[in-house]
A and B are shown apart, each in its own frame.
Chain A
Amino acid sequence: MRLTHLACAIALGLTSHTALAATAYVSNEKDDSISVIDLDSLEVTATLEVGMRPRGLLLSSDNKLLYICASDSDRVQVMDLATRTIIKELPSGADPEQFALHPNDRWLYISNEDDALVTVVDTQSDEVLAQIDVGVEPEGMAVSPDGKWAVNTSETTNMLHWIDTSTQQLVDNTLVDQRPRHVEFDKTGKRLWASAEIGGTVSVIDVASRQIEKVLNFQIKGVHPDKVQPVGVKLSDDGKYAFVALGPANHVAVVDAKTYEVLDYLLVGRRVWHMALTPDQKRLLTTNGVSGDVSVIDVDSLKVTKSIKVGRYPWGVVVTP
């Protein structure tokens, strides 16, 4: 009897162990590859060849498919994570950089950097549903949790473009600081965070009024203000923290998402751009382009625990459970 208990305990222990082993996928912009990191051992376990200049990455809602912006191949590739093979390529328009998936798991909103367009593709029928004119050099892309809004940032026009997803029409613009790179909705969908790379700020926007509610500034002791270039923004699910990747300042700012106070700056690798939280929200991964590595931050202690070498110029990162 006792033995069976023990066996059960061991079996349970084993399954919970495998359940904990999250996997990170990192796009290496200059290597045309994806590095696979096992988050238990914190080692790169595989490097997968993909299309040219992979940048933005995202996962289907069931975490089974990985969408890859292969910018120089002018394609969005779809990888089946079970077999780790590309199962299809979607017509994305030219130079796709970032994208966002609608909660219906079908509509993919893709920013086409060179063409000042947002392309909407149906991931099931592979058809282009719409192409929407936006500002010059579109980059950041997000869809609100309720699926109502798709927001795109244009790096040169310095605007957030609000697209009504029911009509696929651009209905409003919000002017932000110079060179907006990334947008991120909070879990409630009430606020939108937008980074401005040259402006050196992050704007928090009230979604209902589409007006700026708060502008955050960053200052790191010993780092020239010109180097403080916010790009990636990640919000913790519990609404406690916002993490802002500060590019060539080599730091991630930790912001109290309620009071908007900057709590700390964490030193990571060189030119940090994008980030991903593990599904248990305990760790944050950052891609450090110039140093070619991924830093791992422990969210509870807000300490950088390790930096893992990946390919050349890591850009995007996603984590599956």
Chain B
Amino acid sequence: MNAYWYCLQGIVQREWLRFVLQRSRFFSALVRPLLWLLVFAAGFRAALGIAIIAPYDTYITYETYIVPGLACMILLFNGMQGSLSMVYDREMGSMRVLLTSPLPRAFLLASKLLAIALISLLQVYAFLAIAWFYGVQPPVWGLLAALPALLLVALLLSALGLLLSNGIRQLENFAGVMNFVIFPLFFLSSALYPLWKMREASEWLYWLCALNPFTHAVELVRFALYLRFSPLALAVCLGLTLLFAALAVLTFNPQHAALRKGS
């Protein structure tokens, strides 16, 4: 048992060091959602209020609406960035060092996911703090209630990232991930616009958004932040996290890159 704890500690610490040493990464992770909040939302500003939808009890500004989506955007980028680092680790060989550990591979990968998730949460709360001072103030208890929701979403997205990283052969392919994974997940979701608005535009788009796991991730966080509970969102997030994590472990093949290099 001690060995497991030691290993987990080591992996979290390594991720923490990476985070501390790459301070620019922290700021860039913050700058992205802040640009959306302070610039995009300002240009889009619905000062006359957005129609009431659950979990909100009254009319809200557009800024208030997009904060949960932007919090999840941090998790999305970090999850994907985690996958990038996985490719990097694999190519540079540090992943292989880790895999010399006698502990089960599933545990090693799960520890890695958790480490990425914990670091992401710090960034999310830094963002929520700034949003608070900007005037987006969910109930104080909501910030606490959102913690498990954010953690689950972070795990979901890093599991997805890990799964994708298994399919990426080279570092350069990350641009592809950006175009084919991050953007569609983000824009075809309820992060930036309520889905009823999408439905007004196109029934097709609405269904794509409604089926997008990221929509459920955003809604899980949004509901928790306002002290409500969405069973559907929780079921989708929980189920997909387990599925992606299992698939990621099964398809994980550290030999892949090294072998190709060798040949």
Interface residues of A (CB under 8 A from B): 220-223, 227, 249-250, 267-270, 291, 293, 295-296, 304-307
Contact = CB atoms under 8 A, between A and B. Distances in A.
B22 interface: no
A222 B59 contact: no
Interface of B: 45, 47-49, 51-52, 57-61
A269 B49 contact: yes
Contacts of A267: 47, 49, 58-61
Nearest to B60: A267
Interface of B is mostly: loop
Contacts of B59: 250, 267-269, 291, 295, 304, 307
13 contacts: A223-B48, A227-B48, A249-B48, A250-B59, A267-B49, A267-B59, A267-B61, A269-B59, A270-B49, A296-B58, A304-B59, A307-B52, A307-B58
Nearest to B64: A267
A279 B37 CA distance: 39
B58 A222 contact: no
A249 B49 CA distance: 10
Among B51, B52, B57, B58, the one with the most A-chain Cβ atoms within 10 Å of its Cβ is: B58
Contacts of A222: 45, 47
A220 B45 CA distance: 12
B57 A307 contact: yes
4 cross-chain pairs, A with B, having the tightest CB-CB distances, nearest first: A222-B47, A307-B58, A306-B57, A222-B45
A304 B47 contact: no
A250 B49 contact: yes
A178 B236 CA distance: 56
A293 B52 CA distance: 11
Given A267-B59, A268-B58, A250 B52 contact: no
A305 B61 contact: no
Contacts of A221: 45, 47
Contacts of A291: 51, 59
A130 to B, nearest CB: 43
Nearest to B48: A250
A179 to B, nearest CB: 21
Contacts of B51: 291
Contact of B57 (A220, A249, A270, A305): A305
A304 B137 CA distance: 12
